[in-house]
Chain A
């Protein structure tokens, strides 16, 4: 059972902006732990998309951006493209689970 909650799905037309929320609590995001985001294209392994709340690894388009505030974080995709259709997961650390990383519930992004 994940302690980070994401919407099951979001959708948008090509070119639009979509956001994915990741809601945690005072033992994970609210405690100051960083949030990281991963993209999982269909049939492939996840890939690091955003690290340290808002940093993009080299090669990740600047259409992807991350932010964090309080006990939540968000991933925004601007200029949505067909190849962005994937599952997205947030991840952080939780101090209440004997010190363990936790993933969000995952969000399916559909490009209409």
Chain B
């Protein structure tokens, strides 16, 4: 079964750093892009960016460029989304997705709460 398993919920304070993960299984991890999607509380879906684990080619949505870092470790079939200094406005659900020409597999999501 093809699946993306995301790391658990996080509660952080403003200014802290964070790295959440997404582990792929059941398919060739290096053959598909992995993307990240943000959903703020009660809001819609926002595209953040993608990475191709095969060669680490990474592309960001203009709205998220410089705000987050997307990376991957193909040796353990895992992609990451990272913040160096969290803000309260980063509070959201974050989904990783397998992306070919569309997002055909979704992780269950990681809730990130940033509060002082």
Contact B44 A2 (CB under 8 A): yes
8 Å CB contact of B35 from A44, A46, A48, A101? A101
- Closest Cβ neighbor of B99 among chain A residues: A101
B80 at interface, CB cutoff 8 A: no
Q: How large is the interface on B (under 10, 10 to 19, 20 to 34, 35 or more residues)?
A: 10 to 19
Q: Within 8 Å of chain A (Cβ to Cβ): is B109?
A: yes
Q: Is A106 an interface residue (CB 8 A)?
A: yes
Contacts of B104 in A (CB 8 A): 48, 51, 57
* A46/B95 in contact, CB under 8 A: yes
Is the interface on chain A under 10, 10 to 19, 20 to 34, or 35 or more residues? 20 to 34
Name A100's contact: one of B45, B62, B101, B102 (CB within 8 Å): B62
- Minimum CB distance partner of A107 in chain B: B44
Chain B residues 81-114 with CB under 8 Å of chain A are 95, 101-104, 106-109
Query: Which of A's residues lie within 8 Å of B, judged by CB?
Result: 2, 34, 36, 38, 40, 44-48, 51-52, 57, 87, 89, 91, 97-106
A–B complex contacts, Cβ < 8 Å, 6 sampled: A48-B103, A89-B44, A89-B45, A101-B50, A101-B61, A102-B47
